Structure formats: C-alpha cells, structure tokens
Amino acid sequence: MSSNNATALFACSRCFSRHPFEELSPGQQLCKECRGTFPVVKCTYCRSEFQQTVKGNTSTICKKCEQNVKAYGKPSACEYCNTIAAFIGSKCQRCTNSEKRYGPPVTCEQCKQKCAFDRQDEDKKVDGKLLCWLCTLSYKRALAKTKQTESERRAHLKLAQQRAAKHKEQNDSDDDCRLKGHNKRPQRVDVTKLPPQSEPESNGPSPVKIARMVGVHDPHDPNSSDHVVAVTQLKEKIANLQKQISIRDGQLLTKDKQITELKAKNFTAEAELRNRFKSSEKEYDAKISSMQMKISGLLKEVATLSKSTKRDRIAATKNEAKSENSGSGTDSPVP
C-alpha cells in the first residue's frame, strides 16, 4: 500500500484498539464500542457532558468538579448562570473566566437571564442570537437531533422506494412468467385417444376426471396441491413475522416508557437536590447567624462578669485594709 492511501490509526484511550481519528470521540478519544458501553451523562454541578469510564459507576460528577469538591467543599449557586458550580466566591469558574475575557454579562435572548457574554463576533452567535452557554448546548443538541431524525426519515423513504421498486420488478417478472405459461400448452391427456365407451353411464367418471385420475397435473394450476402447500407456508411465515413485529413494537413502547420515567425521575431528583441544597444553605446561614449572636451575648456577659469581679476584689481589699487599721488602733498600749 502506498503512503498516500495509508490511513493513520489512533488508539482508543480505553480499550487501546486502533481506529481512524474521525471515529474517536473528541476529548476522551473513545471508540464507538467504548462510547456505547459507557454512557454520556451531565455533571450535577457544572452541567457539562462527560463520559463515564467505569462500569457500574453511578456518579454524575465530572473529575474536575470532584477535585474541587475535595479541595473546597460543596459549591453554591453561581450568581450569573445559576448553576451549582461556584466553588470559590459567588461565581462559577466559567463565568469568572468569561467575565475577565469579555466583560460583564448581558441578557441571554433565550432564557432571558443575565448570563450571556458578548464576544463581539457575529460568527460565534447561534443563528444571529446571543445565547448563554447552557442555551447554546441545548440548541446544538436539538439541532443534532433534528438532523438525525431527518437522516432517518430519508433513509426510511429510500428503503421504502427500494422495496417498492423491488416489489414492482417482482410483479413484472411474475406477469412475464404468467404470460409465458399461458403461451405454453399444458400437458393434458388427449381425451380423443381414450378408449370409447359403449354406453354413457351417469355414475361413471367423465374424461376430465379420468385425466385427473391418471396423475397428470398442470404446473400452472393454482388449485394444485403444491401451490396450496406453498401458499399455506407463506401465510404461516407472514403470521409469525407479524407476531414478531408486534412483540418488538411492544418492547420498544415499554423501553420508551422506561426512558421517559427515568428522565422524569432524574428531573425530579435533580430539582429536589437543588431545593435541599438551597434549604440546607439557608439553615446553615441561619445557624451561623444565631451562633454569632449567642457568641456576642456571651462575650458581653463575660465582660460584665469580669467588671463585677474586679469591683468585688477592690471592695474586698478596701475592707481588709480598714479592718487592719481599726485593729491596730485598739491594740496599741496606753502611755
């Protein structure tokens, strides 16, 4: 093979099998088999998509957010994009970097939140609209899904046209066979060569019945036993295929229902998690404020107690001095 025709192969980062660069996924460089084995999920915090690389791992937190959780603890909601990804301060890292690079945020034309950044570049806008990062991702996913459904529809139409053309060719070939069979004379028994009968009996077999009894069959006769057996077998096959199709349709419907239920559960669980996080954050802030108030009250009590103890000590020392002076005056000798 010449060097021009040779295609450079690259290794998958999971199974190390070699494939062309176009067949590997961007970012993690996974082949089609590994992409199917390990699903693509959204990070609970930063909402970016990543692919799980361990079977049985139900964690939906990317490696970067996992490292940030270990280093800084659980994040809070970003004041711009409202994603729970603010590990340091009140802004997530994505909004912080965009603000440093493009200036303060502007209103997104899709979600109407002030979380989009104007890059001053018309080519980077989505259909001429200034969208935030989350709305841009959702728009691209919808566009990809539309393209996929359009390609599936075209493939389905192409397959239907091919089937129709094949069916038409088969019908044309069947018509040609029928015309050829019609032009040929069937092998029949010559009734004129049969021995003559002296008297026609009403109960005796007719010449046509005699020909059938002899065992001569017309290969193009639709009422022959071979045709009946073939038609019966085809009908049974069609019935079995229809049963299989109905079973597959039922399985697809159940799987669609399961997928819808799982999506609904995931959505409700995510909403509950956000609500719990917000409520726990409020409770934490309330506890901190109450503890600070208690600490300030205790500090005041300590200050008052320390002042009262100092006063008591001063009074006690004065009393002791007076008692000593009075005792020394009574015990002195008379001159």
CA-to-CA dists, residue 101 to 135, 226, 312, angstroms: 20, 82, 66
pLDDT in the model for residue 238: 92
254 in any annotated domain? no
Residue written as token pair 């393209």: 147
pLDDT in the model for residue 41: 78
pLDDT in the model for residue 199: 45
234 in any annotated domain? no
Residues written for the chain: 335
132 in any annotated domain? yes
Lookup: tokens for 323: 């008692």
Is 310 strand, coil or helix?
helix
CA-to-CA dists, residue 76 to 112, 133, 189, 282, angstroms: 21, 18, 98, 11
284 in any annotated domain? no
If the chain, 335 residues long, is cut into consecutive pieces of 10 residues, what is the mean pLDDT of each piece? 58 81 73 71 81 66 87 88 87 89 88 85 75 84 75 77 78 64 50 49 49 48 64 87 91 90 89 90 92 92 89 83 68 47
Long-range contacts of 55-60 (CB under 8 A, 24+ apart): none
240 in any annotated domain? no
158 in any annotated domain? yes
155 in any annotated domain? yes
pLDDT in the model for residue 334: 46
Contact 14, 53 (CB under 8 A): yes
Tell me the pTM. Answer: 0.37
34 in any annotated domain? no
Residue type (1 letter), 29: Q
The dihedral through the CA atoms of 230, 236, 237, 239 has a sign that is positive
Is 287 strand, coil or helix?
helix
Q: Domain of 109?
A: 105-182
The total domain count for the chain is 1
pLDDT in the model for residue 290: 92
What DSSP designation does 116 have? B
